[in-house]
Amino acid sequence: MRRIPVNSSNIRSIGYELAPAILEVEFTSGDVYQYYDVPEHLYKEFFHASSLGGFLNDNIIKYHYRYRKVS
């Protein structure tokens, strides 16, 4: 999946695939996670959030979207 670099202290890049609704997040540690069934509007809000880490915690992790560690 193609990811876009972002300006964040904890997140290096994010990507999204519309058809399967997968959000992919690469952390500065090098770990990459995929979150499943994430609506496109949530990805867009995430991409433009002032705090990416805060948005991820409050809107993706808190709501228990399925995920898996890719690398």
Supply the range of the domain harboring residue 49.
4-69
Q: Which residue has the tokens 């999204």?
A: 16
Q: Report pLDDT digits (tens) over 33-48.
A: 999 999 999 999 999 9
Into how many domains does the chain fold? 1
pLDDT tens for each residue of 7-62: 999 999 999 999 999 999 999 999 999 999 999 999 999 999 999 999 999 999 88
Left if phi > 0, otherwise alpha if psi is -120 to 50, otherwise beta: which for 42? alpha
pTM above 0.85, yes or no: yes
The rounded distance, in Å, linking the Cα atoms of 18 and 69 is 19
Type and span of the H or E element at 55 = helix 52-56
**In whole angstroms, how large is the CA radius of gyration of the chain?**
11
